[in-house]
Amino acid sequence: MRLSSLHTHTKFCDGADDVETLCRSAYEKGLSALGFSSHAPVGKKTGLVSDWNMKDDAVEAYLDEVRAAKCRWAGRLPVYLGMEVDFISGLTGPADRDYRDMGLDYLIGAVHYLVPPRGAPFTVDGPAEEFERGIREGFMGDSERLAQAYFDAEEAMIRAGGFDILAHPDLIKKNNAGERWFSLESAPFIRRFEGIASLCAAQALVVEVNTGGLNRKRTRELYPGPRFLHRFQAAQVPVLITADAHRAADLDGNYGTALSALRDAGYTETVLFEGKSGASRWKRAPL
Ligand SMILES: [Zn+2]
Ligand SMILES: [Zn+2]
């Protein structure tokens, strides 16, 4: 079967390659479609300083460049224009009105930032020191509470809506190697997985099975891990394999692993993006 790559970063944010290089590579790899999902800017809306989100003044050029690639590759490779949008509690999220006016084909909703009870927002997938400082200062040393806050934010984002694909649902595990800080295998978190899976089903969301952690050797598991993936399957939430590629070489990285994980979780099909509005937006593809 032919798979697509819809979660892709470029030089406009923290990716290494430009739009054309990524299109050529996707075409050569035989992917069925390529979607761009640069990290939406956060600066103007939140005042946060980030070196991986797009700059506010780069958005127009990003939109233009991907639209031009759509035309250049028409008939050879379907190219889609998307964004990965941060939900930052109380500050910004995919439901913000401005995204509706950009003519995007799809939005990926993602939680990278937590807004702690004390102190400034911080990212959970950044350097270990930032994560540890977040636990210590933001959550008064309570790492379980931080993990719960991550899933709280994810639920709030899903309820607010405005996006099509849920990004890396258990990104919180990235700085938790060896379950150093909390166990996502424990009953309270398994219950969270169930709650999030049924919310996704109710909102007709697609969840990505993201190989980015494996591709960049930051995790030993896909996002989501096997337990969480099984909950999505039980709730009949459709899944899309993505690479969260930050360079062309990774556009289909570890896709074999993702296919096996889907089968192990009981999935018999995945979905492919069709780019049209309405019911035909997603096409089912047997595994
Ligand atoms: Zn992300
Ligand atoms: Zn990403």
Q: What is the pLDDT of residues 48-76, one digit of tens each?
A: 999 999 999 999 999 999 999 999 999 99
Angle ∠(128,129,131) on CA atoms, nearest 5: 65
- The size of the chain, in residues, is 287
How many angstroms separate the alpha carbon of residue 223 from the centre of ligand 2? 12
Residues, CB within 5 angstroms of ligand 1 (ion): 110, 167
Ligand sitting nearest the alpha carbon of 242: 2
Ligand sitting nearest the alpha carbon of 172: 1
How many angstroms separate the alpha carbon of residue 196 from the centre of ligand 2? 20
Asked whether 232 and 242 are in contact (CB, 8 A), the reply is no
Task: Map tokens 């050529």 to a residue.
Answer: 24
Alpha-carbon separation of residue 148 from 155, 175, 188, 196 (angstroms): 11, 15, 9, 12
Side-chain half-sphere CA neighbours of 245 within 13 A: 28
Residue 124 predicted with pLDDT over 90:
yes
Peptide bond into 121 cis (omega under 30): no
Averaged pLDDT of the chain: 96
What's the pLDDT score for residue 2?
Answer: 85
Ligand sitting nearest the alpha carbon of 212: 2
How many angstroms separate the alpha carbon of residue 179 from the centre of ligand 2? 23
What's the pLDDT score for residue 279?
Answer: 63
How many angstroms separate the alpha carbon of residue 192 from the centre of ligand 1? 20
pLDDT category of residue 278 using cuts at 50, 70 and 90: low
CATH of 19-286 given 3.40.50.20, 3.20.20.140, 3.40.50.1980, 3.30.410.40: 3.20.20.140
Sign of dihedral through CA atoms 64, 65, 66, 67?
positive
How many angstroms separate the alpha carbon of residue 118 from the centre of ligand 2? 27
pLDDT category of residue 118 using cuts at 50, 70 and 90: confident
Q: What is the pLDDT of residues 88-97, one digit of tens each?
A: 999 999 999 9
How many angstroms separate the alpha carbon of residue 114 from the centre of ligand 1? 13
Q: What is the pLDDT of residues 167-192, one digit of tens each?
A: 999 999 999 999 999 999 999 999 99
CA 137 to the chain's CA centroid? 27
Q: Which of 34, 78, 88, 83 is nearest to 59 (CA)?
A: 83
Ligand sitting nearest the alpha carbon of 174: 1
What's the pLDDT score for residue 280?
Answer: 76
Peptide bond into 224 cis (omega under 30): yes
Residue 255 predicted with pLDDT over 70:
yes
How many angstroms separate the alpha carbon of residue 212 from the centre of ligand 2? 8
How many angstroms separate the alpha carbon of residue 242 from the centre of ligand 2? 9
Residue 277 predicted with pLDDT over 90:
no
How many angstroms separate the alpha carbon of residue 259 from the centre of ligand 1? 21
Q: What is the pLDDT of residues 143-156, one digit of tens each?
A: 999 999 999 999 99
Ligand sitting nearest the alpha carbon of 223: 1
How many angstroms separate the alpha carbon of residue 185 from the centre of ligand 1? 22
Ligand sitting nearest the alpha carbon of 170: 1
What's the pLDDT score for residue 132?
Answer: 97
How many angstroms separate the alpha carbon of residue 86 from the centre of ligand 1? 8
